[in-house]
Structures are given as structure tokens and as C-alpha cells.
Amino acid sequence: MKNYAKVVALLGLSAVTLSASGYRIPEQSLNSTALSAAYVAGANGADASYFNPANMVWNNDASEMELALTYIGLSKVKYTDVSGFTNESKGEKFYVPTFHYVSPAVGNWRFGLSMVAPAGLSKRWDDAYAKSTSKEFTLSVIELNPTVAYKVSDKFAIGFGLRGVYSEGIIKSDAASGALTRDMKANSIDYGYNLAMSFKPMENLTFATTYRSKVDLTVEGNAKLHYVAQPDYDGDASLTVPLPASLTLATAYTMNKTTVEFVYERTYWSSYKELDFKYPSPLTGVLKLKYDDPKAKDWKDVNAYRIGVTHQYSDKLKLMAGFAIDKSPAPESTLGFELPDSDAKLYSFGLEYALNKNMKIGLSYLYDDKESRTVLNPTANAGTNPVPNGTFTNSSAQLITASFKYKF
């Protein structure tokens, strides 16, 4: 059910997760949530293995690990059609565990391992109009990311990692009171890589860049398609959709006990050109029109701008806050109910407390505020073309991350 993957891309998770355009989720640790993902040049501790593996060479010479759990809450999105009727999606709640580890130094080498959820989403509608295409779109993605770093000199380091990505999802549609329905489930395992580089011209100044490769989610599974006027289809289905490549450029500067970081992030969503389901035998009639013919998406590359501030208030207490501006990649012409995405502003804060020299706990919060978005499709109607022709409002996401860090 490669369908599912595509849908996921659609849904977009910054949304929800939120904090990235489309369906990516940049926040995968306590610090990244607290800093609105302005956490690349200043990445330290166990989660450096994911956010900037090159920085692992400057960690303390010990094993470090972080266990975190993130609650993600998605608001009910309200849709108001130009004709005047309104409806809203269901609210969603998720609990996402993450894990990070960095080894002690082995000569000039350090090794790391992260288990994260880099993408995902869910959108469900009960209204007859919206559920004709998007009764449910749900995506779950888990990534295992082993990394390695090499200290070229006291001022320069490089890092490399492999991405093993498992995805699974569900997509359901229900049109014309059950006369036309779709029920798909699928999963896949796919691979990619990531690169990192850090340069410290001074002890308190770091420049960094990271790159995550695109991973094509080659989802395969089963599809059950029904239309009252022709035979049902119950068999294999597949779809390939991108988990897009991303590039970050970052700098972090420390003044006394305060570190300020700026991050520019470019996400290459233009690789998401269409939604094209594949079946062993071509579909015919209405099933072909609704569930087989390629649907254009034509997403665009977008930028995000992030700033994070970290203040070491005392030996035991660290305070953090962040802000980000995140652009939506989805053009009005192809926006759908499965992912009513829009530009967003992110606000976040958090704290970390040292229990002793080896153990720390922390809590952070992020609010993703989506702008209202109006989509006008004058030819839209529930019978033949159930696409948005109105305004989406009240779209937001909240993340709460609790963390335990241990050095040994």
C-alpha cells in the first residue's frame, strides 16, 4: 500500500509533527523540541548522533544515551466551504519514543545510533464530502540511523550515517454513502544516508552543515476497492512517494553561559510530483478514474528559518527557547483534505535538570501554529470532484517531550 506512504507525504507532518513542512518531523529529542529544531551547530550529547554526527567528536569522552517520549496532539481542522457549510476533522493524539547513543572516543572516531520517527501523520474526516477522498490517512515511520564521526583536527570534523526506514500506513475513502470505497494497508523498508560537517574557528563559535538524502518509500500492500456498478478489486497495490532530502546550514555562538543558534533549512519537496497507485492489472471504469489515474501534486522546495537560545542558568539547570518560520510546499491547485497544509510559525521552550554528574531529566514544549488557508476550486462538487473549495482554519499541533539522559 504504497498509497499510504504517499498519503503520508501529503499529510505532512510538520504538521505534526509537526514542525516541518509536509510530513517530516524534525523534533526528535528534548533539545530539538525546546529549540524548534534550531539544533545543528550546537548539537551535543547523545542526540548529536542524529542532528549532527560530526559534533560527536566534541562530546565528553564517555558513553552517552538519551531516552525520550514525545506527545503529539493535532487539533481539529475546521473547513468552511464557499457555499456556507462547515465540518471539521477529528483531533489526533500520538506518543512517539526516541533513542540516541554516542560511544566513547576510539582514537579520532566516534560512533552513534539513533532510533527516531522522522515522518508521520494522521487525518480523519467524518463529513460525507471530505471522507469521499480522505476518510482516513495515517502514516507511521521509524528510522534506525547508525552514524560515525571523524575528528580531522581540533577545529574540523565530519560525520556520516545510514538511514534504514520502516513505514506502514492506512488510507480509506468512502463516497456516495458506501457506493464507492477504498481500504488500503501497506508497508515497506527503504534506505538512505546522511552527511555532516562542523567547523570551530573558535572555541565558542561553530559552523555546521548537514544533508539527509531522499528516501523513496516504496510501499506495497493490499487494496480493497468497491464501486456498485462494477466488480470489486481485492489485491496487490503499490506506490512510491518521497521522504524528501533536506539541507541545513547553521551557526551557534556562545557568550558566557548563553548559546544562540541560527538554522536555515531547505527541504526538497519538488521530488513529490504526483500520486500514482500501481496495480498488477490495470483498473477500469470508475475505479480507474478515482483510484488508478495519477494525481498531480507538484509540490515545491521550501525553506524554514529557526532560532534557538540556550542558557545555562546554574550548574544544574539549563533553560531553552526557540522560534521558527516554516513554509508549506503544497500549491493551492493540488491541496486536498488529506493534508490541508499551510505556512506555520513555531514557538517552543524547555528545561533540563541535572540530578547528578551522570543523569539529567528534562521537559520541553512546542506549539505549531498553522495559518488559515483558502483554496478555491470553482468546479468542485461532491458528486464528481470532491476537492476543497473554501477555507481551512484552526490547524495546529502541540508537542511535549520528556527526556532522561545518562552518561556512563
Number of compact structural domains in the chain:
1
* Alpha helices, DSSP H, located in 58-181: 128-134
CATH number for 27: 2.40.160.60
Tell me the pLDDT of the chain (408 aa) as tens digits: 333 333 333 333 333 333 345 566 788 999 999 999 999 999 999 999 999 999 999 999 999 999 999 999 989 899 998 888 888 888 888 889 999 999 999 999 999 999 998 877 677 888 777 787 778 877 788 999 999 999 999 999 999 999 999 998 888 888 877 899 999 898 999 999 999 999 999 999 999 999 999 999 898 999 999 999 999 999 999 988 888 999 999 999 999 999 999 999 999 999 989 888 899 988 999 999 888 888 888 999 999 999 999 999 999 999 999 999 999 998 888 888 877 888 999 999 999 999 999 999 999 999 999 999 998 887 666 445 678 889 999 989 999 999 999 999
pLDDT of residue 21: 54
Asked if 391 and 374 touch (Cβ cutoff 8 Å), the reply is: yes
How crowded is the C-beta side of 149, counted as CA atoms within 13 Å? 30
The range of the structural domain enclosing residue 186 comes to 2-407
- Three-state SS at 31: helix
pLDDT of residue 9: 35
Spatial separation of the C-alpha atoms in residues 41 and 232, rounded to whole Å: 54
Residue 18: closest CA among 77, 97, 92, 72: 72
pLDDT of residue 385: 60
Give the start-end residues of each E strand in 92-229.
92-102, 109-116, 120-124, 136-151, 156-175, 180-202, 205-212, 215-227
pLDDT of residue 377: 81
Ramachandran area for residue 51 (φ above 0: left; ψ -120 to 50: alpha; else beta): alpha
pTM, two decimals, is 0.89
Spatial separation of the C-alpha atoms in residues 298 and 393, rounded to whole Å: 23
Q: Indicate the length of the chain as a whole number.
A: 408
> With b meaning 16 or more CB within 10 Å and e meaning fewer, what string describes 294-314?
ebebebebbebebbbbbeeee
